[in-house]
């Protein structure tokens, strides 16, 4: 069996949210994990723990930070210091804690829309105000629109949650765009939480540049949050890192948020992450080839078979942000495909209230499954 | 190999804090995990995840709360509602978040001493004031001293962190004592965080009674925090529960502490906990028999071979709180045994500044290892 060779009965037997949210006649293509396995070094690391029955308090001091530093250096030529890293369970926890540390209730946080839904919650559930900064489809790709905020800045804005590569649009911003973001954050005196969890999943032609690597000035106000869970398909192991671009930033965070309040990743998450980052790239290269083939097939098939649906080719992520407004479906496009195609997408309106005409499709699935998903969608549109 | 048959080279090869804090010539008897393995159902649960490469977002909604409810009912005849449970990474996180939710900076929290050190941090690192409530050795066992607080109550006290069975003294409080605690908490209008992580490790003659099971009145102000990690030897899997004794208590907590700030346990922790609680008791019974034998041997040997050291027989836990003041060692008893016996105990002064003459010994280790540990201590005392 190759790394991407899982059939539907095997996948459906998985005890995962992806395969259990919807009834059995629905094919899921929603939550962002992959219908593949994990890298052999990850299996070996977890097997070692099981074989040794070794679940006492784990001696892994600094192991995660060191693996993060090696990975950032080898993959993105970004040189980080172990002292600037905090281990945490997941990026949602990271965003909540950062918002609570660097703003006060009633102050505002800027966020590009469409957005990964928990980032909106990190702002709203903590009593901050969300400043929506919608992206624009320029006919070729989705673009940041910083100008509209420049024209009407909010004096209570303290932070920006920035997602790069962007979920759900799949944008991998280039250096020019990122330099504009950095200048924008400095100009408006914003602390930036930079979600870079999709950094490893960038297709040929694109490149990932860590925001904090641009200059010491932007680093000093940037908290980079990332994890191996997305690229190495281990989200249930709950392991992530926060990197503070300057010691003062971390000191402020730790003063505001007691570190023991946040817990710490389990040894299974730490060992799997270190194994993935250090030894998992051959497996990930194989996965990336499959993802690229899926992406290209998906884009071509949508263009040919789904008139009324527009996809701007994702440069990164295994997520396709489908603009279904041309179908002129009343209400939610996601609901339409769930009801009529028996395909479970993420509903666009969960990424921002203005997006009911959109849906997010996860194409990290074996090619036969993807063909079945899209085939069902094509049939549903034709049979309207 | 039986459940308790691990030799020193095997133990020393473990990548745990216990076996790596001190140099290789030191035998560790400190941090509270066991030098044993894990229950076979736990190994099976973790092996299943590894075999299936199943680390996508896990469908375990309510599984931990349901297993907790089954365990509390079957073992302690305590009937709980799934809705009252919050899953969390560890008890330290639980205590920090509870203190932050139910008190304000500058207010006070009562704590019996000697205490598990992180509970002092949960009070101090969050800007609350610690009201020390020292226990008293009555010549037979360690006793609560609620009267001294009654005589001089603190008007800013809002909470009590109560440890039951008590770490490090090993007390398993009886019903009369617990009823006094409940009346005390009600009388002083205190919210109680009841750490019951050692509930499964109570020796014949003792019994564990959950504090919240005493009456609806005490339940309504009690947050019970517990975990399978202690009895089933899986602390590195980071999985615990908070049980709120009334819906209003949980609602207040969730209003003050956004749930996503706390993260959630990894699937490995959830599956191992459920397996341990539901199917691990035969293994635990075997372990408890070994722990009781160790406890009895330790108590007899200290009485016979270590004049100047007093141990009140622990009714619960695998921890021995050694009163070494009779040795008349200047300074720290823990440091003395580290330097002269090459035995790594927990230093008494970390359980409260007034306890440098004490040390905590973890006797959850194979009998030959325990004999070597105590033999070294006896030699060190004799050679002074």
Mean pLDDT for A267-284 is: 98
Q: Where are the domains of chain A?
A: 8-31+281-382, 47-279
Question: B236 and A16: CB-CB below 8 Å?
Answer: no
Q: Is the pLDDT of residue A214 over 80?
A: yes
Distance from CA of A28 to the nearest CA of B (A): 13
User: Is the minimum CB–CB distance between A151 and chain B shorter than 8 Å?
Assistant: no
A233 in contact with B, Cβ within 8 Å: yes
- How far is the C-alpha of A374 from the C-alpha of A365, rounded, in Å? 12
pLDDT of A113 higher than 60? yes
Model pLDDT, residue A4:
75
Distance of alpha carbon A117 from alpha carbon A167, whole angstroms: 10
Q: Which fold has domain B47-279?
A: 3.40.640
**Is the model's pLDDT at A106 over the cut of 60?**
yes
Question: Pick from A17, A55, A258: which is nearest to B126 by CB?
Answer: A258
Residue A1 pLDDT > 60, yes or no?
Answer: no
Report whether B290 contacts B367 (CB < 8 A): yes
User: What pLDDT is attached to residue B2?
Assistant: 67
pLDDT for the residue numbered A348: 98
Which residue shows structure tokens 């008893």? Answer: B333
Could you give the dihedral angle defined by the CA atoms of residues A118, A123, A126 and A128, in that order, rounded to the nearest 10 degrees? -170
For B96, nearest residue in chain A (alpha carbons): A261
Shortest CA gap B147–chain A (Å): 32
Tell me the Cα Rg of chain A. Answer: 21
Is B164 exposed, middle or buried, given 0-12, 13-18 or 19+ CB atoms closer than 10 A?
buried
Task: Give the residue-averaged pLDDT of A344-361.
Answer: 98
| In contact, B22 and B344? CB cutoff 8 Å | yes
Q: At what angle do helices A267-279 and A40-52 cross, to 10 degrees?
A: 150
Of B323, B318, B312, the C-alpha closest to B295 is B318
Q: How many residues does chain B have?
A: 384
Contacts of A89 in chain B (CB under 8 A): 89, 263-264, 266
Q: Does B134 lie at the interface with A, CB-CB under 8 angstroms?
A: no
Residue A59 distance to chain B (closest CA, Å): 4
pLDDT of residue B320: 98
Asked whether residue A300 carries a pLDDT value surpassing 70, the answer given is: yes
Q: Does the A8-31+281-382 domain belong in CATH 3.40.50.720? A: no
pLDDT in tens, A116-139: 999 999 999 999 999 999 999 999
Closest in A21, A96, A236 to B55, CB measured? A236
The arithmetic mean of pLDDT across residues A192-198, rounded, is 98
Cross-chain Cβ contact A93/B49 below 8 Å: no
Provide the pLDDT for residue B242: 98
pLDDT at res. A5: 84
Whether the CB of B102 is below 8 Å from some CB of chain A: the reply is: no
Share of chain A above pLDDT 90, in %: 98
| pLDDT at position B30 | 97
CB contact under 8 A, A59 and B20: yes
A2 band by pLDDT with thresholds 50, 70 and 90 = low
Q: Which residues contact A330 (CB under 8 A, 6 or more apart)?
A: none
- Measured over all CA atoms, what is the biggest interatomic distance in chain A, rounded to whole angstroms? 61
Chain B contact probe: residue of A258, A262, A272 with most B CBs at under 10 A = A258
Chunk chain B into consecutive blocks of 10 residues (it has 384) and report each block's average pLDDT, rounded to whole numbers.
81 94 96 96 97 94 97 97 97 98 98 98 97 97 98 97 98 98 98 98 97 98 98 98 98 96 97 98 97 98 97 98 96 97 98 98 97 98 94
pLDDT of residue B5: 85
Instruction: Inform me whether the C-beta atom of residue B266 falls under 8 Å from chain A C-beta atoms.
Output: yes
- From B90's Cα to the closest Cα of chain A, the distance in A is 7
Q: Is B262 strand, coil or helix?
A: coil
Kindly determine whether residue A125 and residue B34, on different chains, have CB atoms separated by under 8 Å. Answer: no
Alpha helix stretches (DSSP H) within chain B: 8-12, 40-52, 63-76, 91-102, 117-124, 146-151, 175-187, 216-219, 247-256, 267-279, 281-305, 333-341, 367-382
Specify the pLDDT at position B3.
73
| pLDDT given at position B292 | 98
């Amino acid at each position: 069996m190759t790394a991407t060779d899982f059939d539907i009965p095997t996948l459906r037997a998985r005890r995962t949210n992806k395969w259990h949210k919807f009834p059995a006649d629905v094919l899921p293509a929603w939550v962002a994990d992959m219908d593949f396995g994990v890298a052999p070094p990850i299996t070996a690391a977890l097997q070692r723990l099981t074989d040794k029955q070794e679940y006492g308090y784990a001696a892994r001091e600094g192991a995660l930070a060191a693996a993060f530093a090696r990975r950032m250096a080898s993959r993105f030529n970004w040189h980080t210091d172990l002292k600037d890293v905090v281990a945490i369970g997941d990026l949602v926890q990271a965003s909540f804690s950062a918002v609570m540390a660097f703003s006060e209730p009633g102050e505002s946080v800027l966020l590009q829309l469409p957005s990964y839904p928990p980032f909106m919650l990190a702002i709203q559930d903590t009593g901050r105000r969300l400043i929506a900064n919608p992206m624009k489809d320029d006919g070729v790709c989705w673009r940041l629109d910083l100008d509209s905020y420049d024209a009407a800045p909010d004096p209570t804005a303290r932070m920006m949650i920035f997602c790069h590569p962007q979920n759900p649009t799949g944008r991998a911003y280039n250096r020019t765009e990122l330099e504009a973001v950095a200048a924008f954050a400095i100009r408006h005196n914003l602390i930036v939480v930079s979600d870079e969890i999709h950094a490893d999943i960038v297709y040929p032609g694109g490149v990932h540049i860590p925001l904090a690597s641009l200059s010491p000035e932007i680093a000093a106000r940037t908290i980079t949050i990332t994890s191996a869970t997305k690229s190495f398909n281990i989200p249930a192991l709950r392991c992530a890192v926060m990197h503070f671009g300057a010691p003062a930033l971390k000191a402020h965070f730790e003063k505001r948020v007691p570190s023991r309040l946040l817990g710490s990743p389990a040894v299974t998450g730490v060992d799997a992450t270190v194994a993935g980052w250090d030894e998992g790239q051959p497996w990930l290269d194989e996965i990336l080839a499959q993802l690229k083939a899926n992406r290209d097939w998906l884009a071509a098939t949508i263009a040919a078979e789904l008139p009324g649906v527009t996809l701007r080719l994702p440069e990164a992520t295994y997520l396709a942000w489908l603009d279904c407004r041309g179908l002129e479906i009343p209400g939610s496009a996601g609901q339409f495909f769930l009801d009529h195609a028996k395909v479970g997408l993420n509903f666009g309106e969960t990424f921002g209230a203005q997006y009911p005409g959109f849906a997010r499709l996860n194409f990290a699935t074996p090619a036969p499954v993807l063909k079945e998903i899209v085939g069902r969608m094509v049939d549903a549109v034709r049979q309207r």
